[in-house]
């Protein structure tokens, strides 16, 4: 794919991985549209991006707000050709606790990390398919390959997103204008991961750099850092099964 001259929507684009990706793509000559729930954080993020960058405030986990955001994209940014589904929710959850509200937390994670992505993608897909070249980037996680006891339901939501992403990619042939990427960050040093030791993670800029290179190469599977080992092992197992 071309890595300049695109119009790119990034959910969760006001901080962390999303903002790092926005900086990388904005600096490369792309028009970046960042999305988030906080108008204040969005405005602060815009100060770090090219002057062509814009923000759309809204919560993609809420159906009516998804519809509103899609309408704004259609009306004001009809040239949109890349979406990066990065917004996420995660809760530390001890399943041995008697009052851990596991189902309630899981519902929020599944809704934000999976259901909302499916619905938003379905709503915006007709616009993407009108473009000469388009892409969807779904940000999953190393947890797809290595779930842990601290984030059991978050890991499950990202595994669901992974399965959906593969199905979406298989839906479109090489003759279609749409490419489907999946980005697998490991532990990253962001506010989002602070509770689970994010300070020991890689910088978000490393994730952005890996994605940029993958877009250049049309490398649809994009493991980063420690995720590369897990991704390679998963591929090896698939090959063994297929043989």
- Please identify every residue annotated as catalytic: 154
The strand pairing partners of 206, in sequence order, are none
Q: What is the 3-state secondary structure of 127-174?
A: HHCCCCCEEEEEECCHHHCCCCCCCHHHHHHHHHHHHHHHHHHHHCCC
Would you say 2 and 133 are in contact if contact means Cβ atoms under 8 Å apart? yes
The strand pairing partners of 32, in sequence order, are 8
Which residues touch 98 (CB under 8 Å, ≥6 apart)? none
CA dist 67 and 63 (Å) reads: 6
Backbone angles phi, psi at 18, to 5 degrees: -60, -45
Which residues touch 107 (CB under 8 Å, ≥6 apart)? none
């Amino acid at each position: 794919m071309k890595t300049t001259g695109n119009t790119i929507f990034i959910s969760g684009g006001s901080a962390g991985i999303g903002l790092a990706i926005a900086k990388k793509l904005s600096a490369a000559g792309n028009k970046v549209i960042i999305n988030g729930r906080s108008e204040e954080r969005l405005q602060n993020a815009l100060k770090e991006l090219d002057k062509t960058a814009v923000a759309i405030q809204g919560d993609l986990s809420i159906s009516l707000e998804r519809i509103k955001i899609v309408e704004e994209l259609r009306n004001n940014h009809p040239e949109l050709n890349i979406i990066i589904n990065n917004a996420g929710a995660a809760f530390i959850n001890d399943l041995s606790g008697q009052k851990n509200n596991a189902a309630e937390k899981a519902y929020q994670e599944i809704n934000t990390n999976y259901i909302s992505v499916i619905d938003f993608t379905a709503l915006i897909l007709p616009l993407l398919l009108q473009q000469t070249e388009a892409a969807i980037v779904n940000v999953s996680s190393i947890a797809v390959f290595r779930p842990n006891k601290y984030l059991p339901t978050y890991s499950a939501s990202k595994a669901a997103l992974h399965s959906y992403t593969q199905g979406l990619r298989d839906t479109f042939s090489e003759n279609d204008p749409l490419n489907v990427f999946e980005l697998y960050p490991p532990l990253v040093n962001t506010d989002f991961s602070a509770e689970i030791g994010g300070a020991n993670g890689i910088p978000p800029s490393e994730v952005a750099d890996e994605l940029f290179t993958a877009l250049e190469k049309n490398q649809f599977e994009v493991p980063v850092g420690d995720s590369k080992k897990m991704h390679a092992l998963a591929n090896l197992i698939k090959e063994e099964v297929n043989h």
